[in-house]
Amino acid sequence: MNPIRRRRLLLILGLVAGIGAATGLALTALQENVNHFYSPSEVLAGGTPEGRTFRLGGVVLEGSTRRDGTSLKAHFVVTDRFKDLPVEYEGILPDLFKEGQSVIATGALQAGGVFVASEVLAKHDENYMPKEVAEAIAKGKAQKASQGSPTP
């Protein structure tokens, strides 16, 4: 390669590497701000200020959903399987809102340790399968669980 082209090549490689490094450093420094939501563990560890709006993400704990009979108010518990946080929301929940599925709720932590949400979005995971397969997996899991525990 002739020297001029070699210099241009090195210049370009230097440019891309330099910008990569600068962006890497900036994003590492801003790590907290780029995260879309906090997990219950992070919230309970005091990572979020009380009374300020932030997003909470996690799985809706199985068997925790309670709906108000007369209003659109719903209570449920969001968990990351380490810590739990009770959530209160008034409004229409998205179609994919289900126990055992993930949600992202926007709102603020109130004094009683309850997270009052103004918006609840459903987060779905990267698994796609037909209904029959999902049922077969659930059945297999149930069977395994019943085999694992001593039968009465």
Partner 1 sequence: MNPVWRWFHQLGSPPYFYRFATRWMPWFGISALLLTVIGMYLGFVEAPADYLQGDSFRIMYIHVPAAWMSMFIYGVMALNGAIALIWRIKLSELLFLSCAPIGAMFTAITLITGMFWGKPTWGAYWVWDARLTSELVLLFLYFGVIGLASAYDDLRQGARAAAVLALVGVVNVPIIHFSVKWWNTLHQGETVRIMGKSSIDSSMLWPLLIMALATKLYFVFALLLRTRSALAEQERGKQWVREAMVEAA
Binding segment toward partner 1, per CB under 8 A, in 30-38, 43-51, 67-75, 107-115: 30-38
Measured in degrees and rounded to the nearest 5, phi and psi for residue 87 equal -125, 140
Closer residue to partner 1, CB minimum distance, 5 or 144: 5
Please pick, from the candidates 70, 112, 126, 148, the single residue that binds partner 1 as defined by CB under 8 A: 126
User: 88 to 117, contacts with partner 1 by CB under 8 A?
Assistant: 93-96, 98, 101, 104
Binding segment toward partner 1, per CB under 8 A, in 44-52, 66-74, 124-132, 142-150: 124-132
Residues 6 or more apart whose Cβ sits within 8 Å of residue 73: 67, 88, 89, 90
Please pick, from the candidates 39, 78, 85, 88, the single residue that binds partner 1 as defined by CB under 8 A: 39
Q: In terms of C-beta density within 10 A (0-12 exposed, 13-18 middle, 19 or more buried), how is residue 60 classed?
A: buried
Contact assessment for residue 53 and residue 105, using Cβ atoms and an 8 Å cutoff? no
Contact assessment for residue 57 and residue 104, using Cβ atoms and an 8 Å cutoff? yes
Contact assessment for residue 43 and residue 56, using Cβ atoms and an 8 Å cutoff? yes
**125 near partner 1, rule: CB under 8 A:** yes
**3 near partner 1, rule: CB under 8 A:** no
Please pick, from the candidates 47, 67, 135, 140, the single residue that binds partner 1 as defined by CB under 8 A: 135
